Amino acid sequence: MSKTIHKPTFISGDALEIPIFKVLKQDGTLYPKAVEPEMSKEFALKIYRDLAFIRVFDERMVSAQRQGRISFYMPCLGEEAASIGSAAALEAKDMVFAQYREQGTLRYRGFSTEQFMDQCFSNERDLGKGRQMPIHYGSNELNYMTISSPLGTQIPQASGYAYSQKLEGNKACTICYFGEGAASEGDFHAGLNMAAVLKCPTIFFCRNNGYAISTPASEQYIGDGIASRGVGYGIKTIRIDGNDLLAVYEATRVAREYAIEHNAPVLIEAMSYRLGAHSTSDDPTGYRSKEEEAKWATKDPVLRYKHWLTKKGWWDDEQENALYAEYREEILAQMKEAEKRPVNKIDDIITDVFDEPSAILESQLADLKSHIRKYPSAYPKTSGRLDS
Amino acid sequence: MSKINLLQAVNSALETAMREDEKCVCFGEDVGHFGGVFRATSHLQEKFGKDRVFNTPLVEQGILGFANGMAANGFKAVAEIQFADYIFPAFDQIVNETAKFRYRSGNEFNVGGLTVRTPYGGGIHGGHYHSQSPEAYFAHTPGLKVVVPRNPHQAKGLLLASIREDNPVIFFEPKRLYRASVGEVPEEDYEIPLGVAEVVEEGTDITLLAWGAQMEIITEAAKLAQEEGISCEVVDLRTIVPWDVETIVNSVKKTGRLIISHEATLTNGFGAEVAATVQEQAFLHLESPILRVCGMDVPYPLSHEAEYIPDASKVFEAIKHSMNY
């Protein structure tokens, strides 16, 4: 029910002041009034190992793309805490709809080095059968919905998925990640409004990293970020420091409890900075300054969390060096193995379009195979194994 | 068996599907308590509850996104788009998401349980945005099945098959026939297979092919031709994708002539696909050019609806032209 007024009185677009939730300072100590979330040493170190893995993996894969070994890559440098901290607050039965910069969540869930590599090299062991560009991961076993390139499309899908989880009644929720640029898409509006109206246990997790390719957030929206919109949809909303793993973890943990208990969506806006390029096809020097990047480099989320672990006496330099060396070796070995593996057989060009190939598809495949037999040198990846 | 109209047949199919599977849900704009603007979902909310039959906010891209999400979790999501003219805001969800879901994930995930129901077609003074026949847009997208029934019996059997089918289906309902088409429909459960055309009337001189509401038109044209001693084979395509090439080609090999008729505009309409395929596969049997009797290449007009539509006299004229070639 609205109150009545009798003079035209407009509410300012920035009237709502949304604060930012922080727990950890950069030196690894807590803010005076902050409360440390409950975490066992084992759990805290599992998180750290995944942060370190993603850091090494990103670095190696960007190099691999530069050397022409893979066609494309997207790093998540500077945003590792957002994906891994939130993943740690969920249960395995919760569903994940990601955008593309959330490899940390997938690693946390147990995606192996080999599986990451097979997808990036589009070989015959890739769960996606080599059909999508690198970094479009997906795993049914790990409840990680296969990524697609069109931005924002996963947002209303996550609402629908969560609605079906509510009907199943097994106390699970769906988390949906997207960037602040994708939040400008119509599907953002559709997904959040539907989740609110239809009472879906969905956690909308916005990674606000300041840029959508070259477009700064100041050219993306003029309101108070993405969080202010959640309030307009009647959604419980919080803004957090996305470089603060403990804040990310704690906010997501509470959001999950609320979403499942009340069958209602929650919006988390995690403020961070995209320290790397948008992708291997992008060069940020064309649109932002080294000074700006250097400023954010001092807010490194992995280092901040490591300082906290070190202060607790759970981590030291010796362990650090051993872990990084282990990951470098493992990633290099898996890369060599993945790039040697062949692509799928040509028959898979028509499978999974439908549950069974239609007669028209079978006929197109037969035509293609006889063409390859006639011109084998034009199709070196498949011509040698048409009938094996 | 009882005589019911096409809307009641749709309603009966939905009730049958929802009764057998508690993971079958219906949603869209106004489908809840009100039962839909055409009343296709009448009384379903009373029977199955608000969790399974519900209104959504007015947002087509959201309805399809939501449906994709539910279907990805193994639900049979039956989404309604109020008019086929308003399916375009959901085009991205359908073409980039629904259609590619299984393929792009290597079958890790699929939305096979998804069915989109939507009233299509003209003849009701609907102007630009209550008359369109957009089937050809979807026929160009691998991964979708596209189905159009022509009467109540077809509507129930094809809709049940579509809902149970493990592939996403766009089900176009001829709204001009919602109440006008009445026929015998079994009360029990039955299915009509997808991907199979039906020879409705056998003939020897010329094949007439259409689907949905246009079947009524070509049947009328066939009667006019009959009076002139021309024997028409009348065929209902029923499924646009994947279409029954064999039945159509065999019919043309027998008659040597083909006319395709659809309400949608001519250029790049689905008739073009059929014509190209038939001339490839039955070239030596053709005795005259394949003709298409379709809507003109204009937005669907209001005042000139009678002139725009490919009516029986236009089809009859084409039959004579083909016979006299």
Displacement of CA A363 from its chain's centroid (Å): 39
A133: chain B residues, CB-CB within 8 Å: none
A contacts of B110 (beta carbons < 8 Å): 352, 355
Residue A14: the pLDDT is 87
User: CA–CA distance from A388 to each of A60, A313, A346, B259 (Å)?
Assistant: 34, 57, 11, 45
E runs forming strands in chain B: 2-5, 24-28, 53-55, 76-80, 115-120, 145-147, 169-174, 182-185, 198-201, 206-210, 232-236, 239-241, 258-265, 291-295
Please tell me which of the candidates A165, A187, A193 has its beta carbon nearest to residue B73: A165
Report how far residue A302's alpha carbon sits from residue A315's, in angstroms, rounded to the nearest whole number: 13
Q: What is the spatial distance between Cα B202 and Cα B104, in angstroms, rounded to a whole number?
A: 43
3-state SS class at B78: strand
Rounded Cα–Cα distance for residues B63 and B82 (Å): 11
Classify the C-alpha dihedral B1-B2-B3-B5 as positive or negative: negative
Q: Which residues of chain B are within 8 Å of residue A140 when distances are taken between CB atoms?
A: 108-109
B276, two tokens: 């190209």
Element (H, E) at A269: strand A266-271
- Measured CA to CA in angstroms, residue B114 lies from A282, B11, B62, B69 at distances of 37, 17, 14, 10
Nearest alpha carbon to residue B18 among B57, B85, B103, B76 = B76
pLDDT along chain B (325 residues), means of 10: 94 98 98 96 98 98 98 98 98 98 98 98 96 98 98 98 98 98 96 98 98 98 98 98 98 98 98 98 98 98 97 98 97
Omega of the bond leading into B168 within 30 degrees of 0 (cis): no
Summarised one tens digit per residue, pLDDT across range A205-231 is: 999 999 999 999 999 999 999 999 999
Write the pLDDT tens digit of every residue in A266-311: 999 999 999 999 999 999 999 999 999 999 999 999 999 999 999 9
Q: Which residue of A has its CA nearest to B72?
A: A161
Query: Which of left, alpha, beta for A333 (phi over 0: left; psi -120 to 50: alpha)?
Result: alpha
Q: Do A190 and B112 touch (CB under 8 A)?
A: no
Residues in contact with B198: Cβ distance below 8 Å, sequence separation at least 6, in sequence order: B235, B236, B238
CA distance A127 to A134: 12
Nearest of A350, A368, A302, A360 to residue A59 by alpha carbon: A302
Residue B62 and residue A136: Cβ atoms within 8 Å? no
ipTM for the whole predicted complex goes beyond 0.90: yes
Neighbours of B99 (CB within 10 A): 22
Contact residues, chain A, for B89 at CB < 8 Å: 186
**Are B65 and A352 within 8 A, CB to CB?**
no
| Straight-line distance from the first to the last Cα atom of chain B, in angstroms, rounded to the nearest whole number | 45
pLDDT the model gives residue A388: 58
Stretches in chain A below the pLDDT threshold 70: 388
Largest CA distance in chain A: 83
**Cβ-defined contact of A193 to B92 (cutoff 8 Å):** no
> How high is the pLDDT of residue B1?
76
What's the pLDDT at B96? 98
Q: Is A278 a catalytic residue?
A: yes
**A63 alpha-carbon distance from chain centroid:** 21
Q: Which of residues 328-387 of A touch B (CB under 8 A)?
A: 351-355, 358-361
Query: Can you say whether the dihedral through the CA atoms of A23, A29, A32, A33 is positive or negative?
Result: positive
Q: Residue B44 contacts by C-beta under 8 Å, 6 or more apart in sequence?
A: B11, B14, B15, B18, B26, B31, B35, B53
Q: How far apart are CA A102 and CA A84, in angstroms?
A: 8
Task: Give yes or no for A165 touching B (CB within 8 A).
Answer: yes
Q: Which of A153, A158, A360 sits opposite B92 (nearest CB)?
A: A153
Candidates A352, A361, A367: best to mutate against B (most CBs of B within 10 A) is A352
Question: Is-contact B170 B209, C-beta < 8 A?
Answer: no
Closest CA to B209 of B240, B180, B171: B240
In chain A, positions 139-158, which contact chain B (CB-CB < 8 Å)?
Answer: 139-140, 145-146, 148, 150, 153, 155-158
User: Residues 176 to 235 of A: which have CB under 8 A from any B CB?
Assistant: 186-187, 189-191, 193-194, 197-198
Which residue of chain A comes nearest to B241, CA vs CA? Answer: A358
